Structure 1
Amino acid sequence: MSYTPLEQYQRKWIFTHQSLPVPEEELVHIKPISQQRAAQLWIENISKQSPDADRLSSGDWPSKASNWLDEVDWSEAWDADEPELPQAILDHIDWQDDVTVYFCYEKYNIIETKWAIFKKHWKNFLFFDDGPILIGRRRSEALWFNTDGSVKLGQRTE
């Protein structure tokens, strides 16, 4: 896998912001994927044609309502003092902490990390909430976050 050093990542500040800093020893697990590799990952896992979640085609799996089981609010938990993800998300995604996840902002902007790191620092990832999709390596469960404060819980299909 080809990565962009976090120091060079255009949105690095979301992980180092003084109001919600990620500890140095955990920053190493937040790996922005190079644009070329991110595009390949997006094409293989999200959409062959669409560059972002706003322009998905009806043939892309995220556009199919049947792939989504539920929709819950994440914004209330994001605003709360407690760090935990909403319980409905944790109930939907029962992965081991070491599962590799991809937080897909758009075709050229994907971050790889571990499920444990995402669970702990999910608020940082959602400083940008313009339709990112979370998928796990070799896992069918998926999350699709929306700017209205909701997240769709579902299953990825081919």
Structure 2
Amino acid sequence: MSYLTLDEYQRKWIFTHQSMPVPEQDLEAIKPMTQARASQLWKENISAQSPDAERLSSSDWPMKESNWQQSVDWMAAWEADEDALPPEVAEFIDWQDDVTVYFCYEKYNVIETKWSVFKKHWKNFLFYDDGPILIGRRRKEALWFDTQGTVKLGFRN
């Protein structure tokens, strides 16, 4: 099996927290990967050597400044009452709602969902903001969030 149930996921609370609960139909589309599957996806799409964003090597695509177009503030939008993504992010990622996305916290912690679900509940995903990278299946655009409240918009190669 490639996925854990949400009940088995150690960070389940970020999607069921009383201040921002995710509706049941959207919870069904949030699929934490098993460690083995997460590790495989991380190695193939983020880094073959490094276990997390803090230890990426200079040869990993996220560390190449030329892959990033701009950085924008996500924290202000996260703290705002509206649920919308920062406008620059919404403009940069022009994907159909059914595109499969991978929210990569680190090598053994990756969540698969649909772009529509991520857009709606992105604040939940960012309860943990220790360098997660969002990529889409068969898409070049990427987002790299940091703990200082900025997100890099760019392209993976």
* Partner residue in 1 for 2:152: 152
Q: Distance in 2 between matches of 1:127 and 1:37?
A: 23
Q: Distance in 2 between matches of 1:125 and 1:89?
A: 15
Q: Confirm or deny that 1:39 pairs with 2:42.
A: no
Q: TM-score, normalised by structure 2?
A: 0.99
* Partner residue in 2 for 1:11: 11
What stretches of structure 1 move > 3 A for 4+ residues in a row?
none
Per-residue displacement from partner, 1:85-125 (whole Å, max 9, x unpaired)?
A: 00100111000000000000000000000000000000000
RMSD: 0.6
* Partner residue in 1 for 2:61: 61
Report % sequence identity: 73
Q: Spell out the pairing of 1:126-145 with structure 2 (5 A cutoff).
A: 126-145=126-145
Q: Confirm or deny that 1:122 pairs with 2:137.
A: no
Per-residue displacement from partner, 1:31-72 (whole Å, max 9, x unpaired)?
A: 001100000000000000000000000000000000000000
Q: Distance in 2 between matches of 1:26 and 1:100?
A: 14
Instruction: Give the length in aligned residue pairs.
Output: 157
Q: Secondary structure at the match of 1:110?
A: strand
Q: Distance in 1 between matches of 2:156 and 2:91?
A: 17
Per-residue displacement from partner, 1:112-153 (whole Å, max 9, x unpaired)?
A: 000000000000000000000000000000000000000000
Give, as a single letter, the amino acid of the residue that structure 1 aligns with 2:87: Q
**Structure 2 unaligned residues grouped into runs of 5+:** none
Give, as a single letter, the amino acid of the residue that structure 1 aligns with 2:114: K
Q: Distance in 2 between matches of 1:85 and 1:102?
A: 17
Q: TM-score, normalised by structure 1?
A: 0.99
* Partner residue in 2 for 1:81: 81
**Deviation of residue 25 (structure 1)?**
1.3
